[in-house]
Amino acid sequence: MSHKLHFNLSRFYFIYYFFVGAFVPYWGLYLKSEQLTEADIGILMSLFQISRIFAPNFWGWLADHTAKRVVWIKLTALLGLLGFVLVFWAHGFWVLFLVMAALSLFTSSTLPLSESLTLAHLATTNGHYSRIRMWGSLGFIVAAVILGFMTDIFGIKSLLWFLLGVQITLFALTFKLPEANIAPHAHDHFNIWQVVKQPNVIALLIGCALMVTAHGVLYNFYSIYLEKHGYSKTAIGLLWSVGVICEIGIFMLMPKIMARFSLKTILLVSLVLAVIRFSLIGAAVDSLFLIILAQTLHAATFGSFHAASVEVITQYFNGRHQAKGQAIYNSVAYGVGGTVGGLAGGYGLQYLGGQATFALAAVFPFIGFLVIYLGLKLTSDSQTKGMFR
């Protein structure tokens, strides 16, 4: 992969996840400042996951049908920017509901389109996904830390202007993304549903959805949960950063890890560590040491799990199905899983309390472990090929 191509893709990932690093830890706190209940916040935050169920599939179909990804990345980034501007005038549950629903239709599609563009470039170059995706993690860390200090000093309302600036930058960077040539693949002659209905694909998608269900509780309510237990916004930002720093470490190590362990083993170990992580968050919120330890497990519960999942998905969805495959993966795992986690987490936090809610979240990766263990059967050939090697 040329230095210029690597730079442009890495920079885009950095800014995209810079937005995520500002939005995920602090948007729930912003909604809380608008006097909304945890259940209301759960519903509003879940709009982004609900949109991921169907919106990326539409844009993914367009990308594969037209063989152009950058055009649709530009359009979704622009519409996402315009949608975010409306947030400045949105107050009250129903107005926020309408604005966030419109915003989510576009912001939920930019990433899977970008992932398919990156994977298409990697298919024809010697680049490594982990080295590009790592810059996204760095962007998340920088934003989470900056926003922690900034909102402690200037208040949570300053978040809106910060996010607007990032959205403008993200749209500008779409003009630096190069279009990719789509390499032919052995599954090109298959109907997309012939690929989806394969037992391995079904098992992986269900396992991923269960893992993300637990993370849906985390992404939407971790900051609110910590704030209720006396953590400052600066401390919250730093705790989010601990997890993503460990995520970067695992991305850097993935080539060696995948050379030594099978993809199925990586998925199963990640799921076991997720059970431990969410149990710790629920049981030990007042112990800073154990909360930090739980955050270090993000390296496995997101980092290695996501890397291995993308590897398997890429092997089944390639060529002309690449963008649709990424869209289906995002729709089922992050759309369905995130929606269930977000909605259940909101009502759980309001009626059961945070500690019980996070403890119960550990049940989902446990079930995911059983699904992957019993349902995912990978051939030896599929264990020796991939973009991480």
Please choose, from the candidates 254, 249, 251, 303, the residue with its C-alpha nearest in 3D space to the C-alpha of residue 274.
303
Exposed (0-12), middle (13-18) or buried (19+): which is 5, by Cβ within 10 Å? middle
Asked whether the beta carbons of 34 and 290 are under 8 A apart, the reply is: no
Query: Which helix (H) or strand (E) element contains residue 70?
Result: helix 70-85
Treating both helix axes as pointing N-terminal to C-terminal, what angle do 322-329 and 199-228 enclose, rounded to 10 degrees?
Answer: 50
Domain ranges of the chain: 3-383
Q: What are the structure tokens assigned to 322, written together?
A: 């690449």
- Taking the chain (389 residues) in consecutive chunks of 10 residues, what is each chunk's mean pLDDT? 78 90 89 90 87 76 75 88 91 92 81 75 66 85 89 91 93 86 54 72 92 93 92 92 90 87 94 97 94 95 90 73 69 88 90 93 96 84 48
Q: What is residue 388's predicted lDDT score, i.e. its pLDDT?
A: 45
Q: What is the pLDDT of residue 267?
A: 95
Can you identify the CATH homologous superfamily of domain 3-383?
Answer: MFS general substrate transporter like domains (1.20.1250.20)
- pLDDT (0 to 100) of residue 227: 92
pLDDT recorded at residue 121: 76
Looking at residue 63, what is its pLDDT?
72
